[in-house]
């Protein structure tokens, strides 16, 4: 189980879109694209010595129709799960990170802010806020023991981190208790120590101790074997700043003033009854989400407690809006995005890129195009610089028309100890991992 989340890359003004803009399942295309990427990876001599020992889909099995879908290995009796932590190099020790502690949270924040995911050109690095980390890592029923750090024994400095949180995820008709693995981060000076595999084994051991045997995770690199690959798309909200910091470029034959005009949005939202979600809306939003997510092959199984935690608005963490019919007061539509800024590296004028990431959106009465345009307006009102979205769920049907451009970042989705056949199209996936 691992997460080496891909940063949302730079926006490319002239690149042709690769997603299915009709949102129709294209499993055969997904398999073909995946096979091509795997072949390219292997042609460069890339071997995945660690992952080839794990219960995950293997490249050699791609296209093997005899392998069943479902768990790859049966659960082990809990008494046979390793009780002691895996051995670390002598200078280091395991700790459990108490994310309720402000001091510990500050340590984790500092490690991630200085050492976590950067884009390929080292221009931007994710900058998860302390409030975001506490939200992301403390959902209902979370286990403190799944928040794992590595310290230097002598200085007590935190130099590595990995986490898991529990989640109910449905695969086709089966709801499975899983762990979502995230925030795998090793200090830049220790990248040669091969800490990552032992950290993945340790978080796996701790997950197994809770009698959970499957996991979901994402990575910006190809590992054995993605269940699908999503493309990042970006919608400029503050185009001048994005161009100034090198996130996007002026298009051919475009001036700055024409670009600003192109991306200009209305001052206010247009849908009657569009408002901020409140705590009292949780049951209605849960019903909307459950019905919507039932159409996807892989999706979370949310209840009221999950919706309360993940979707009730939190300042500078997550924003959620809904449409309440002005006459009947029925909640008909819902949209949300979370706040994930990036540090801008080496720029004299700007230090932070404020990015909104599309989360869960449900359109029943309001056309999705209009609903998402209102979400863009709401994000602009909150001074976001860019609105990012993956081409999963129904997003692929509206991104181009809303003036999103395809980025150079891809996000690969993985399941641990669970095989899905064949690979999914992004439009068959209903799961967003932070």
CATH at residue 386: 3.40.630.170
Residue 203's closest CA among 2, 55, 6, 53? 2
Do 238 and 212 reside in the same domain of the chain? Answer: no
Whether 12 maps to a domain, the answer reads: no
Do 249 and 146 reside in the same domain of the chain? Answer: no
Q: Which residues form the domain of 252?
A: 229-428
* Total number of domains constituting the chain: 2
pLDDT of residue 13: 41
Do 201 and 347 reside in the same domain of the chain? Answer: no
DSSP category for residue 314: B
Rg (CA), the chain: 21
Residue 42 has pLDDT above 60, yes or no: no
Domain boundary at 201, 220, 239, which? 220
Whether 6 maps to a domain, the answer reads: no
Q: What are the pLDDT digits (tens) for 122-149?
A: 899 999 999 999 999 999 999 999 999 9
Alpha-carbon separation of residue 111 from 15, 157, 184, 380 (angstroms): 34, 10, 11, 30
Q: Catalytic amino acids?
A: 434
Do 268 and 127 reside in the same domain of the chain? Answer: no
The answer to whether residues 268 and 372 touch, using CB atoms and an 8 Å cutoff, is no
CATH code: domain of residue 109: 3.40.630.30
What's the start-to-end Cα distance of the chain, in Å?
A: 15
Owner of token pair 């007590």: 156
Whether 404 maps to a domain, the answer reads: yes
pLDDT of residue 43: 45
Q: What are the pLDDT digits (tens) for 209-254?
A: 999 999 999 999 999 999 999 999 999 999 999 999 999 999 889 9
Q: What are the pLDDT digits (tens) for 340-360?
A: 999 999 999 999 999 999 999
Whether 13 maps to a domain, the answer reads: no
DSSP category for residue 139: -
Orientation of helix 304-311 relative to helix 282-293, angle to 10°: 100
Whether 40 maps to a domain, the answer reads: no
Tokens of 181: 């693995």
Residue 7's closest CA among 247, 240, 186, 239? 247
Do 292 and 192 reside in the same domain of the chain? Answer: no
Instruction: Check the CA dihedral 401-404-409-411 and report its sign.
Output: negative
Do 194 and 281 reside in the same domain of the chain? Answer: no
Whether 78 maps to a domain, the answer reads: yes
Q: What are the pLDDT digits (tens) for 289-310?
A: 999 999 999 999 999 999 999 9
Residue 94 belongs to what H/E stretch? strand 92-96
The answer to whether residues 387 and 358 touch, using CB atoms and an 8 Å cutoff, is yes
Residue 27's closest CA among 431, 420, 416, 430? 420
Residue 336's closest CA among 322, 355, 349? 322
- What predicted TM-score, i.e. pTM, was given to this entire model? 0.91
DSSP category for residue 382: T
The answer to whether residues 119 and 10 touch, using CB atoms and an 8 Å cutoff, is yes
Residue 109's closest CA among 343, 372, 358? 343
Give pairs for 41-44: CB < 8 Å, separation 24+.
41/222
Residue 133 has φ and ψ, to the nearest 5°, of -65, -40
Cα within 13 Å of Cα(214), Cβ side: 21
Do 213 and 264 reside in the same domain of the chain? Answer: no
Owner of token pair 């949270």: 105
pLDDT of residue 44: 43
Whether 1 maps to a domain, the answer reads: no
Whether 19 maps to a domain, the answer reads: no
Residue 103 has pLDDT above 90, yes or no: yes
Do 239 and 210 reside in the same domain of the chain? Answer: no
């Amino acid at each position: 189980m691992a997460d080496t989340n891909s940063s949302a890359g730079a926006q490319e003004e002239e690149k042709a879109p690769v997603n299915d803009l009709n949102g129709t399942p294209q499993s055969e295309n997904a398999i073909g694209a995946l096979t091509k990427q795997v072949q390219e990876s292997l042609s460069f001599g890339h071997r995945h010595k660690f992952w080839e020992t794990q219960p995950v889909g293997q490249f050699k099995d791609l296209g093997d129709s005899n392998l069943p879908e479902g768990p790859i290995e049966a659960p082990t009796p809990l008494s046979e799960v390793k009780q002691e932590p895996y051995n670390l190099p002598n200078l280091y020790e395991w700790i459990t990170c108490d994310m309720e502690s402000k001091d510990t949270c500050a340590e984790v924040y500092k490690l991630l802010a200085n050492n976590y995911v950067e884009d390929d050109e080292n221009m931007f690095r994710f900058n998860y806020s302390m409030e975001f980390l506490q939200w992301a890592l403390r959902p209902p029923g979370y286990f403190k023991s799944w928040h794992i750090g590595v310290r230097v024994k002598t200085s007590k400095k935190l130099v590595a981190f990995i986490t898991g949180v529990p989640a109910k995820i449905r695969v086709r008709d089966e709801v499975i208790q899983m762990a979502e693995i995230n925030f795998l981060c090793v200090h830049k000076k220790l990248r040669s120590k091969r800490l990552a595999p032992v950290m993945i084994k340790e978080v796996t051991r701790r997950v197994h101790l809770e009698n959970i045997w499957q996991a979901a995770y994402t990575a910006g690199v190809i590992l054995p074997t993605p269940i699908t690959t999503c493309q990042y798309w970006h919608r400029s909200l503050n185009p001048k700043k994005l161009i100034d910091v090198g996130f996007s470029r002026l298009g051919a034959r475009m001036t700055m003033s024409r670009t600003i005009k192109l991306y200009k949005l209305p001052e206010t939202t247009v849908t009657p009854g569009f408002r901020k979600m409140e705590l009292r809306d949780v049951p209605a939003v849960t019903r909307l989400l459950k019905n919507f997510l039932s159409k996807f092959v892989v999706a979370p199984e949310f209840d009221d407690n999950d919706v309360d935690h993940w979707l009730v608005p939190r300042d500078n963490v997550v924003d959620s809006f809904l449409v309440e019919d002005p006459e009947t007061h029925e909640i008909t539509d819902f949209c949300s995005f979370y706040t994930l800024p990036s540090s801008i590296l080496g720029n004299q004028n700007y230090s932070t890129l404020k990015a909104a990431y599309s989360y869960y959106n449900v359109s029943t009465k309001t056309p999705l195009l209009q609903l998402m345009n209102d979400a863009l307006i709401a994000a602009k009102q909150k001074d976001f610089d860019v609105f990012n979205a993956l081409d999963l769920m129904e997003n692929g049907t509206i991104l181009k028309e809303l003036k999103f451009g395809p980025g150079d970042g891809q996000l690969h989705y993985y399941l641990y100890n669970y095989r899905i056949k064949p690979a999914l199209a992004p439009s068959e996936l209903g799961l967003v991992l932070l």
